Amino acid sequence: MDLGLKGRRALVSAASKGLGRACAEALAREGAEVFISSRDAGALAGLAGQIGAAGHQAADLTKRADVEALVSAAAGALAGLDILVVNSGGPPAGSLEEVGDDAWEDAFKLTTMSATWLVRNALPHLKKSKQGRIVYLTSYLVKEPSDVLMLSNAFRPGVTAVARMLSHELAPLGVTVNCIGPNAILTDRTRSLAAGPAGDAGISLEEQLERSASKLPMKRYGDPSEVGGLCAYLCSAQAGYITGQTIVIDGGSTRFYA
């Protein structure tokens, strides 16, 4: 299927690894002109060469000046923007009693303010596009809170609410706004979160991951490329009537409660 992405101009943040990388790779495969960013300049340059990115720039998403410079650089290099993939690293795990004020402030900047700055600065360009797309990478936590990810529980739903509001505001312009809520995808963050239980059980990380995977409905973790494929579809011409949605990609592992 031709997704109609050839020549579409995309900015993907936090793209040097994990789900951001998977989205950048998927868009590039479909012929989009992709501008990528992350804090890791070395990894970023390597990925840019691998996927034939149209440009790249290191940026710390917790700093407004970095985000503003990033969007300006991307729009300048691409002569506009049609697609914005809003992604950031996840805040650290911890319960309410374990997470201090500094961690709350850092997580707010990382998840909420970075998304705000990215979209605010990209909107003038996206509004001019004939196929504007905003895709937020959030989390399944907006549907079902985690017992150990207090900070994500607190901030991801707020980002999702903003996305929903924007979808109504931008619909008359043909700009769609959607969220992807991943769960049980095998990324570096998944491995990091599994390290604690592995240590508690006195087993290797790989054994812990195998145990966890065996409890999933599909008996495996999802691959980041599967998230990338969904992102590419949501950016496609065919997805022009899908907006304001949070699509959970989890192999059926997330349970929903009324």
Strand spans (E) along 72-117: 83-86
pLDDT at 258: 32
From residue 85, how far is each of 65, 147, 234 by CA, in Å? Answer: 19, 28, 10
Give the chain's domains with CATH numbers.
Answer: 9-185+223-249 (3.40.50.720), 186-221 (no CATH)
Residue 255 is predicted with a pLDDT of 67
Question: What tokens appear for 237 in the block?
Answer: 């011409």
Q: Residue 123 in contact with residue 48, Cβ under 8 Å?
A: no
CA distance 20 to 97: 31
24 with 12: CB under 8 angstroms? yes
Count of CA atoms in the C-beta half-sphere (13 A) of 220? 4
- Return the SS3 of 220: coil
What amino acid is encoded at 63 in this protein? K
pLDDT one-digit tens code per residue, 60-82? 999 999 999 999 999 999 999 99
Query: Which residue is it, tokens 């996927």?
Result: 51
> Residue 118: CB partners within 8 Å, gap ≥ 6?
11, 13, 61, 67, 70, 71, 84, 86
Task: Note down pLDDT in tens along the chain; length 258 residues.
Answer: 899 999 999 999 999 999 999 999 999 999 999 999 999 999 999 999 999 999 999 999 999 999 999 999 999 999 999 999 999 988 888 888 899 999 999 999 999 999 999 999 999 999 999 899 999 999 988 888 888 899 999 999 999 999 999 999 999 999 999 999 999 999 988 888 888 888 888 999 999 999 999 999 999 999 999 999 999 999 999 999 999 999 999 999 876 543
Closest CA to 254 of 185, 162, 208, 163: 185
Contact 175, 240 (CB under 8 A): no
Q: In whole angstroms, how large is the CA radius of gyration of the chain?
A: 18
Q: Strand, helix or coil at 136?
A: strand
Distance of CA 80 to the CA centre of its chain: 21
